């Protein structure tokens, strides 16, 4: 019985991994894009709609390279996904603990911040620094709210 490698929820034989290494070695001038598409054609790796699953293949190739099982050609250009590379500019916030009865906080203010750049920056900073998943950008349409004390100190986003 031949051992296999489990990547992307699928078992891959060592023969398949060697075949990929051989394909890369035989075509050192091919781009990663071309390699992924050729791999899809060879293995009839298609999505349910019949199109080549080249993004899944490219992700698979990247994972093999991360595990030092193959050596891919260098990237020719950066990813065109502008949100993937977005760097959030965090604003300075008072993050010291605030302990007080709710009544002592005076009037609380709730702001919808999508059209307020200053408060939106506070909202994004809070999500980036306090949320367990972090934050780069919202996906889809969202309403963004910031809850502040009467003095303007943010309490929740």
List per-residue pLDDT tens for the chain, 157 residues long. 457 788 888 888 889 999 999 999 999 899 999 999 999 999 999 999 999 998 899 989 999 999 999 999 888 887 776 666 567 788 888 888 888 888 888 889 999 998 999 999 999 999 888 888 777 777 778 899 999 998 889 999 9
pTM surpassing 0.85? no
Rg (CA), the chain: 24
Reference 153, options 89, 90, 93, 112; nearest CA is: 93
Reported in sequence order, the residue ranges of the chain that DSSP labels E, i.e. its strands, are 4-7, 10-13, 109-112, 145-148, 154-156
Number of Cβ within a 10 Å radius of residue 135 = 16
Reference 122, options 134, 113, 132, 133; nearest CA is: 113
DSSP character string of 96-137 = S-----GGGG-S-EEEE-TT-HHHHHHHHHHHHHHSTT--S-
Element containing residue 26 per DSSP (H, E): helix 14-26
């Amino acid at each position: 019985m031949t051992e296999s490698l489990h990547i992307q929820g699928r078992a891959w034989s060592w023969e398949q991994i060697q075949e990929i290494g051989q394909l890369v070695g035989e075509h050192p001038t091919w781009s990663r894009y071309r390699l992924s598409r050729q791999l899809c054609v060879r293995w009839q790796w298609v999505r349910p709609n019949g199109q080549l699953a080249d993004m899944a293949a490219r992700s698979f190739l990247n994972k093999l390279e991360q595990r030092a099982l193959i050596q891919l050609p260098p990237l020719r250009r950066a990813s065109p996904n502008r949100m993937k590379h977005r760097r959030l500019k965090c604003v300075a916030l008072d993050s010291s603990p605030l302990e007080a009865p709710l009544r002592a906080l005076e009037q609380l203010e709730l702001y919808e911040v999508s059209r307020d750049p200053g408060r939106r920056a506070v909202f994004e900073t809070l999500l980036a620094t306090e949320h367990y998943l972090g934050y780069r950008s919202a996906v889809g349409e969202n309403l963004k709210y910031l809850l502040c004390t009467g003095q303007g100190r943010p309490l929740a986003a």
